[in-house]
Structure 1
Amino acid sequence: MAAVGSVDVELLVIGWLQARLGDDARVRDELDNRLLEELPTVQVEVVGGGDDGFRLDRALVDINVYAATRAETVALAARVHGFLLTELRGSVTDVAVVGFVATIARPTARPYENTALRRVGGTYQLFIHPVS
């Protein structure tokens, strides 16, 4: 039986979102100096959470969307938000079961030091446990 923390939540969400967004956006965990050349980009980061000490990971996940315009950023963030709440919740992958997804902070505009792009971000709580 796999222990809590055996599922890399960031990699799971990145792969899952990339499969849904396809060529519409890059999904990744870290940003680099080429961000302006790689828009739109969706950044996924685990920012905290808890666990039951056994199998259940209750991860807090920050998802930031970067794009050239506010309208494009808001639209992509809304798509991601919808995917998480309607398709990720209750899903089963090769490595994990996602039993619960909730919005902690809905997608809103967030400041970013580069004024050539826009950022919209939200925070979600995911309850995930390994398949086996």
Structure 2
Amino acid sequence: MAAVGSVDVEVELVAWLTGRLDVRVLTDLPENLGDVLPVVQIQRAGGGDDGIRLDRAFIDIDVYGATRQAASQLMSQARSLLLTELRGVVTAAAVFTSARTITAPFWRSYENPGLRRFGATFEIFCHPVS
């Protein structure tokens, strides 16, 4: 649960990306991951805040696909949305002010050799609506 005056960035990004990508977007991977591909996973990986309203979130995004090409293409779509459309978005709980890439998309190994994963890290600034 987010503290008073803060935004649960994971929840807001899952909802926002779900409305724009025709895939499952979530924070926790399902046990049957191989059966529900493709999947986009959102996880906060740190960041900071000003102690009042502004949140500077580091967001890890992992994209899982059946093939390397499928995972790479989906990561490109998600990245493009974050970098070109997220700025200025207002949701029920958050105002997103900027997004930038910290670590560009790259191949990440995964324990299941039948799945392919691409990941990237983004810095996202937001604050509560009110």
- When the two structures are superposed, what TM-score results if normalisation uses the length of structure 2? 0.95
Name the counterpart of 2:126: 128
Work out which of the residue numbers 99, 104, 109 in structure 2 matches 1:101: 99
1:3-28 Cα distance to aligned partner (Å, 9 max, x none): 442x110000000000001xx31000
SS in 2 for 1:76: helix
Name the counterpart of 1:44: 42
C-alpha separation in 2, matches of 1:101 and 1:84: 6
Structure 1 segments (4+ residues) deviating >3 Å:
none
Structure having the larger proportion of residues in helix: 1
C-alpha separation in 2, matches of 1:31 and 1:3: 28
Structure 2 unmatched ranges of 5 or more: none
**Alpha-carbon contact 1:3-1:55 (below 8 Å) kept:** no
Name the counterpart of 1:58: 56
C-alpha separation in 2, matches of 1:4 and 1:125: 19
Name the counterpart of 1:20: 20
Structure 1 unmatched ranges of 5 or more: none
**Aligned-residue CA RMSD (Å):** 1.2
C-alpha separation in 1, matches of 2:122 and 2:72: 17
Name the counterpart of 1:75: 73
SS in 2 for 1:32: coil
Which is further off, 115-124 or 83-92?
83-92
1:32-76 Cα distance to aligned partner (Å, 9 max, x none): 320001100000000100000000010000000000000000000
Name the counterpart of 2:33: 35
**Alpha-carbon contact 1:4-1:57 (below 8 Å) kept:** no
**Alpha-carbon contact 1:3-1:54 (below 8 Å) kept:** no
Q: What is the one-letter code of the residue matched to 1:34?
A: N
Matched, 1:117 2:115: yes
- Report the count of equivalent residues: 128
